[in-house]
Amino acid sequence: MGLVIVILAARWLGQVGSSPLQHGGREHMRKLNRKGVLVVVTVLGLIAAACGGTSGPPDACTSDPFGCVEVGAGEPIKIGSLLVITTADASLGLDSQYGVELALDYWGATDFDGANGQIKGHDVALQAEDDGCSAEGGTAGAQKLAADEDIVGVVGTSCSSAALGVADTILGDKGIVLVSPSNTGPALTDPAKHKPFYLRTAHNDKLQGATVAHFAYNELGVKSAATIHDGSPYAEGLANVFAEVFTSLGGTVTAQEAIQRGDTDFNPVLTSIAATGPEFLYYPIFVAEGGLITQQARGTAGLEAIALQGSDGLFTPDWIDAAGAENAEGVYISGPDLSAFTGDVDFYNNVFIPAYTAKYGPPGSVFHAHAWDATNMLLTAIDQVAIEQGDSLFIPRTALKDAMFATSGFVGITGTLDCNDDGDCQQAVTIAVHQVKNGEFGDPIYSEASTLGG
């Protein structure tokens, strides 16, 4: 490429020299011509020298289709996080980010001393980015991380909309492994859609949607239901799975509506749903719209006696604030059962949570444990495949990905992680349903354990 530029530049300069001018004459121009070429060649030579490579990388790197990340002497190993840390859903992403930060702190020295651990003598550093809980945010954040050649792996995204077709592709095209603590949309690990460098430690919503349907039909005894989703893979996935299972149990789905994120007036859609007369309304969406729908549903004629249900997108005190405690009273919310983790529960309750609360206050969401597990998976895999050469470290990208997918019997907090080929590492999960009472979620009123493919 540099050669091309030199040639082009020289030719252009040649043209400059040959055009007639008023003063100075040809002599002057020829001088400039020669000087110019000299200057250009020198500059370019310097640049070429600067770009010259150092000593050769190990063989594993040249044979790896995506090459290696080179971590020089004294430089940190950079991992990224791509979580929703701004906007109304910030509590979800920050909660996961704190889980990542704690995991980095604990690694190595196995205590929370405020200093990140090390892998093979190199510090591990975190670059935190925002996924905005949207495709657009996921694109921007993933682009930023992908453009950085030093990023080894990324923990993220928070929202399935930021991952599907977006972050999983942008990062995957660069060979950067992406492991999500809270993506639950079924499409992400669907064999036809799954991207090779993507995994997750969160559950697959095929399980959650079914649990909610069982709860509604069996526990609450409702026979007709309506759903609202916001077009995101997460919400749509849940609404569809719910509708499928609910219908197969014998219930009727009277309406399936879609709103858009950022909308504020839901009276038309709620009135529309009321006209179909359901007993149960499932709206597995996020805080901003979920809060408004909760408020407005309470005021819609025909929906006064309806049972309202949301899912983990609303499983945060921020939603109760947004909706108003009076409106949120009695609403059902589903999410992973924090009291039913099958991993190192003792550690979770007695070490992790106290450390978390001391540093960040009470948890704002439920996926911090999954983030912890995801980070530890990543760090373990890096430790496994990193090649030392002198003071530098070489981490082959594809080998790292393979190590992650080969994770089996990995005991984390949330359970024993076992990754299948499609990226689902949490095969068995317990989903709980809570009911909001006095502005709090309280303990689960219903809990169901299920397994993927079972």
Partner 1 sequence: MIERFNDRNVVTGIIQLGLILLIITIGGFAYRASGRPKDGTAPPEPVMAGAVAGAASGAMVALFVIVVTLLAEAGYVARDMFESVTPALLDILTFQQNPWVGSAIMIVMAAGVGGLAGYAHRLPAEGRKLTFLGLGTLLIVGLAAPIVDVMVKGLGLPSGWLFRREGLTVAGALLVLVVTVALRWYLDRQGGFRRAAAKLPGITDSNIKKVGLTAAAVVVLALPWLVNSFISEVLGTVGLYILLGLGLNIVVGYAGLLDLGYVAFYAVGAYVTAVTTSLVGYLVTDDPLRPAQNGWTSFWLALPITVVIAFLIGVLIGAPVLRLRGDYLAIVTLGFGEIIRTLVLSDWLKPYFGGPQGVTDVPAPPPASFEFRQPQRLYYLILAFALLALFVSSRLKDSRIGRAWAAMREDEDIAEGMGVSVIKYKTLAFAIGAAVGCLGGAFFAAKLSVANPGSFTLLVSINVLAVVVLGGMGSIPGVVVGSLVLVGLPELLREFGEYRLHIYGAILVLIMLYRPAGLIPDKRRARELAEAKELKETSGVAAS
Partner 2 sequence: MTAAPTPMVRGLSTRLARLPIRRISLIALGIAIIYGVVAGTTATLRTGKFDTHDWVNFLVQGIARGSVYALIALGYTLVYGILLMINFAHGEVFMAGSFTAFFVASALAGHGFLDRQPIISFVILLLVSVATSVTVALLLERLAYRPLRGAPRLVPLITAIGASLFLQYTFRGLYGEQAQAYPEIDAFQGTVQIAGFPVTKEQLIVIVGALILWLALYLFIERTRTGRAMRAVGEDRQIAALMGIDVDRTIRITFAVGGALAGAAGILYVLLFNQVNFTMGFIPGLKAFTAAVLGGIGSITGAALGGLILGVLEAVGPTLFLTGTGIPSAFQLTPIVSFGILVLVLIFLPGGLLGAPEEKRA
Q: Which long-range contacts (CB under 8 A, 24 or more apart) does 401-404 make?
A: 401/175, 401/177, 401/196, 401/197, 404/177, 404/179, 404/199, 404/377, 404/378
Q: Which is nearer to partner 1, 111 or 265 (CB)?
A: 265
- State in angstroms the smallest separation of the CB of 50 from partner 1: 4
Work out whether strand 416-417 and strand 280-282 pair parallel, antiparallel, or are unpaired.
unpaired
Q: Is 289 in the site for partner 1 (CB under 8 A)?
A: no
Distance in angstroms (rounded) separating the CA atoms of residues 354 and 319: 24
- State in angstroms the smallest separation of the CB of 92 from partner 2: 13
Q: Is 135 in the site for partner 1 (CB under 8 A)?
A: yes
Positions 187 through 216 that interact with partner 1 (CB under 8 A): 187, 190, 192-193
Q: Is 267 in the site for partner 2 (CB under 8 A)?
A: yes
Q: Is 299 in the site for partner 2 (CB under 8 A)?
A: yes
Q: Letter for the amino acid at 40?
A: V
Distance in angstroms (rounded) separating the CA atoms of residues 150 and 118: 16
| Tokens matching residue 244 | 């499928």
Return the one option of partner 1, partner 2, none that residue 187 interacts with (CB less than 5 to 8 A, by type): partner 1
Positions 77 through 116 that interact with partner 2 (CB under 8 A): 86-88, 90
Positions 8 through 37 that interact with partner 1 (CB under 8 A): 8-9, 12-13, 16, 21-24, 28-29, 31-32, 35-36
- State in angstroms the smallest separation of the CB of 234 from partner 1: 11
H helix runs in 19-133, sequence order: 25-50, 59-63, 90-106
Q: Is 358 in the site for partner 1 (CB under 8 A)?
A: no
CA distances from 173 to 79, 162, 177 (A): 17, 16, 10
Part in contact with partner 2 (CB under 8 A); list of ranges 57-65, 246-254, 263-271, 347-355: 263-271
Q: Is 64 in the site for partner 1 (CB under 8 A)?
A: no
Candidates 58, 165, 302, 324; binder of partner 1 (CB under 8 A) is 165
| Tokens matching residue 324 | 């108003």
Q: Which is nearer to partner 2, 2 or 268 (CB)?
A: 268
Q: Is 292 in the site for partner 2 (CB under 8 A)?
A: yes
CA distances from 319 to 171, 331, 333, 364, 439 (A): 31, 11, 11, 10, 10
CA dihedral 95, 100, 102, 106 (to 10 degrees): 160
Part in contact with partner 1 (CB under 8 A); list of ranges 160-168, 267-275, 284-292, 357-365: 160-168
Part in contact with partner 2 (CB under 8 A); list of ranges 100-108, 246-254, 266-274, 434-442: 266-274
Residue 435 φ then ψ, to 5°: -125, 135
350 contacts: CB under 8 Å, gap ≥ 6: none
Q: Letter for the amino acid at 10?
A: A
Q: Is 318 in the site for partner 2 (CB under 8 A)?
A: yes
| Tokens matching residue 257 | 């509506």
Q: Is 287 in the site for partner 2 (CB under 8 A)?
A: yes
Q: Which is nearer to partner 2, 143 or 272 (CB)?
A: 272
Candidates 86, 218, 267, 350; binder of partner 1 (CB under 8 A) is 86
Q: Is 301 in the site for partner 1 (CB under 8 A)?
A: no
Burial of 108: CB neighbours in 10 Å, binned 0-12, 13-18, 19+: middle
Q: Is 327 in the site for partner 2 (CB under 8 A)?
A: yes
Up-side HSE of residue 154: CA atoms within 13 Å toward CB?
A: 38
Q: Which long-range contacts (CB under 8 A, 24 or more apart) does 382-386 make?
A: 382/77, 382/119, 382/152, 382/153, 383/119, 383/120, 386/119, 386/120
> Where on the chain is the footprint of partner 1 (CB under 8 A)?
2, 5, 8-9, 12-13, 16, 21-24, 28-29, 31-32, 35-36, 40, 43-44, 46-47, 49-51, 85-86, 130, 132, 134-137, 139, 143-144, 147-149, 161, 164-166, 169-170, 173, 187, 190, 192-193, 230-233, 258, 260-261
